[in-house]
């Protein structure tokens, strides 16, 4: 036995596997429309910034704290099945947590944002649809920031944090669905 992990709530394992499965399917089934090099480059820059924000808000990259030290290091955290094991890389200035379900999910969201930006640029859609897409893109970021900001002891926060995997998985699935659907994409 590598790790002594007891699965108390099996839904958490299912959630991690959902992130992986839905992420892979979304990447596989999404094809951005043909576009100019300039449009693809701009979309890649915006999607890259989005990925960085997701990584920071979602805890993939963590700055500061007691875990930061003068040396480099690496270890594997054995976490919930479906979410791990997660390689953790410690750098002198940050820690990188490579939780497979999150990495695949965030890569899928980033690729979907990239495709959405290309579609929107090529179709010259109204700013209302652009705003709709941006709001759907921002849900995972907003959810991560809100749960971190209200880390107090209130009952509502305790309940929300108790269901953080449920909430984040629901937001992830809804965001992927909206970005994948893209009603204005070329058929």
Max CA separation in the chain (angstroms): 56
In this prediction, residue 158 has a pLDDT band, given cuts at 50, 70 and 90, of very low
For the chain, the C-alpha Rg in angstroms (whole number) is 18
Q: Where are the alpha helices (DSSP H) in 60-126?
A: 100-123
- Span 87-97, mean pLDDT? 87
Q: Is 111 within 8 Å of 32 (Cβ atoms)?
A: no
DSSP assignments along 122-148, one per residue = HHT--HHHHHHHHHHHHHHHHHHHHHH
pLDDT of residue 161: 47
- Arithmetic mean of pLDDT over the chain: 76
**What is this structure's pTM?**
0.75
Q: Is 96 within 8 Å of 31 (Cβ atoms)?
A: no
């Amino acid at each position: 036995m590598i790790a002594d992990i007891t699965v108390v709530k099996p839904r958490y394992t299912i959630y991690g596997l959902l992130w992986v499965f839905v992420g892979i399917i979304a990447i596989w089934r999404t094809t951005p429309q043909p576009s100019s090099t300039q449009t693809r480059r701009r979309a890649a820059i915006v999607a890259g910034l989005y990925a960085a924000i997701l990584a920071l808000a979602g805890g993939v990259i963590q700055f500061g704290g007691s875990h930061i030290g003068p040396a480099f290091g690496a270890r594997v955290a054995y976490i919930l099945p479906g979410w791990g094991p997660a390689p953790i890389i410690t750098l002198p200035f940050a820690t990188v947590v490579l939780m497979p379900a999150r990495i695949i999910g965030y890569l899928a969201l980033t690729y979907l944002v990239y495709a959405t930006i290309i579609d929107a640029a090529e179709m010259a859609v109204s700013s209302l649809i652009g705003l709709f897409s941006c709001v759907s893109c921002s849900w995972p970021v907003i959810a991560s920031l809100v749960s971190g900001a209200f880390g107090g002891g209130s009952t509502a926060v305790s309940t929300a944090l108790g269901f953080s995997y449920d909430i984040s998985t629901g937001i992830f699935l809804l965001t992927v669905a909206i970005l994948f659907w893209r009603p204005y994409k070329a058929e």
